[in-house]
Amino acid sequence: MLELIKLTHTNIYNIYYEDTDFSGFVYHANYLKFFERSRSDLMGISALKELFDAGYHFVVSKAVLDFKAPARFGEQIIVDTHAEFTRSPRVHIKHILKNSSQITLVIGEITLAMLDKHNKPARIPDNFLIYLKHKNNS
């Protein structure tokens, strides 16, 4: 039986004009794209592809965004991602998006659900959890 596995990861992104709305602020839905990229990097793109090839995939079952201040065109942002994995189909992830001055701009709390090839909830496969545990220790 595998215990709780906690992972953290940090990504840095540039804010391009295409990320913003007419005000020069990042368009609200684009924060979800930054969070998705950060989750993929946290878990490992090749590991996620292997999961998919084995008939498993994650879907977002809940997303809560708390906007504190806008990210702006030309800035760099930092996304700290914290995730907790067990065998449960649910994974809770917290994203904290800051600017280069370390001011928190957006907090995202995302719940993922693991589905099998029939799109039914499934426990996270042990081999993926072992990979995450090893990744956490390296």
Q: Which residues are catalytic?
A: 21
List, in order, residues 6 or more apart from 97 with CB less than 8 Å away: 31, 34, 35, 71, 77, 78, 79, 104, 105, 106, 107, 108
Handedness of CA 100, 108, 45, 84 (dihedral sign): positive
Which among 119, 2, 3, 133 has a CA at the least distance from the CA of 61? Answer: 119
